[in-house]
Structure 1
Amino acid sequence: MSAPRIGVLALQGDTREHLAALREAGASAATVRRLDELQAVDALVIPGGESTTMSHLLREFELLEPLRARLAEGMPAYGSCAGMILLASEILDAGADGRQAVPLKGIDMTVRRNAFGRQVDSFEGDIAFEGLDSPVHAVFIRAPWVERVGPDVEVLAEAAGHIVAVRQAKMLATAFHPEMTGDRRIHKLFVDML
């Protein structure tokens, strides 16, 4: 069986780091910027970055509705930080002045943008992660948290009393950036889900 072909949405954010982590986890990884690239992958990673900018660029590149459709059809996806925000069914503090983060409705959850605070409030720490035998070193940068999960959503990790990692079917989301550490277990978990 060949390695799953996983795309990394490459409109804005830490694309390179996710590509490297996916390859180290055993996947074939490629960037996704156009519709034909989205249609050519088995799964998608939506990286960290700025969720309102990413939403704007999804519209500009005419990927918003095709991506929503692929997710609704069951395409597996993993979102980290801004990617978690976009995979939500509802976004709190989505933005203002016509530049708003747009929910892709992949995971039945409500996410609050920048919940842990501004850039200066970014932090790192070791957290327990369901299914892994030792803690994950988590890097939180202007990170969101999950305020509500639906009945089919499994909570995988919490930090400071808030949900920071979830899974629903073949969708995975973290409020932190595992691609910024040398630990590939979360990317491997996603690859293994396929």
Structure 2
Amino acid sequence: MNIGVLALQGDVREHLSALAECDALARPVRRPEELDAVDALVIPGGESTTMSNLAITFGLLEPIRKRIAGGMPVYGSCAGMIMLATTVLDGRPDQESFAGIDMTVRRNAFGRQVDSFEADVAIDDIPGDDFHAVFIRAPWVEEVGAEVSVLGHVTSGPAAGRIVAVRQGNLLATAFHPELTGDLRVHRYFVEIVRQSSAR
């Protein structure tokens, strides 16, 4: 089971490390031929406009869209959530996404870098205490389609109730950065999605 991490921009190393701790073979993906060699993909946090432009430059936009349409499991955190959305609010007019999850996401919804914060998030399907989540210029989900399961909301503070974790089939997205906390439950959950997909 090979899981790629889209290595165009963002916190690639942290995701590679978290996946390795989950006993997954993780490798960076920068080229279409590297995408062909993996069973699943993680889209890291970073800057979604830059990531979108680099995906086009490196010839990865359409190959990733095709793999998603073909059922490849993908997990996106923060900017990765934006890249997986079908509709992006407050993005640049020319910004492209992989359009995998039927949801409307608002970029930088919680504010600028100085407004970054930590909060507890209750996540369905993941046992244990609420997840202590790190939000950095994070998006939130404003609307989801009928096939999307809402897995997580912020549980307290001014952002209470905001949707910050979703799943649609083999596609998973969070507005926060689990790779920065040392809590591997989200990554383990995704690895299990990949295992089940591979078994099918």
TM-score interval, normalised by the smaller of the two chains: over 0.9
Q: Distance in 1 between matches of 2:27 and 2:138?
A: 25
How far did residue 157 of structure 1 move?
Answer: 0.6
Q: Distance in 2 between matches of 1:49 and 1:127?
A: 21
Q: How is 1:56-95 mapped onto 2 (pairs within 5 angstroms)?
A: 56-95=53-92
Q: Deviations over 1:9-42 (max 9, x none)?
A: 0000000000010111121100000111001000
Q: Distance in 2 between matches of 1:140 and 1:57?
A: 23
The residue aligned with 1:128 is: 122
Q: Which moved more, 1:54-63 or 1:153-162?
A: 153-162
Q: Deviations over 1:136-172 (max 9, x none)?
A: 1100000000011111111111122210000110110
Q: Distance in 2 between matches of 1:38 and 1:18?
A: 16
Amino acid at match of 2:145: G
Q: Distance in 2 between matches of 1:55 and 1:155?
A: 25
SS in 1 for 2:123: coil
Structure 2, unaligned stretches of length 5 or more?
155-159, 195-200
Amino acid at match of 1:75: M
Q: Distance in 2 between matches of 1:107 and 1:127?
A: 20
1:142 to 2:155 alignment: no
Q: How is 1:3-152 mapped onto 2 (pairs within 5 angstroms)?
A: 4-95=1-92, 100-131=94-125, 132-152=127-147
> Does structure 2 conserve the Cα–Cα contact (< 8 Å) formed by 1:26 and 1:188?
no
TM-score by length of 1: 0.95
Q: Deviations over 1:22-70 (max 9, x none)?
A: 1111211000001110010000000000000000000110111111111
Amino acid at match of 1:28: L
Identity within the alignment, %: 65
Q: Which moved more, 1:67-76 or 1:12-21?
A: 67-76
How many residue pairs match? The answer is 188
Q: Deviations over 1:91-110 (max 9, x none)?
A: 111125xxx43121111111
Amino acid at match of 2:163: I
The residue aligned with 2:179 is: 179
Q: Distance in 1 between matches of 2:118 and 2:166?
A: 19
The residue aligned with 2:157 is: none
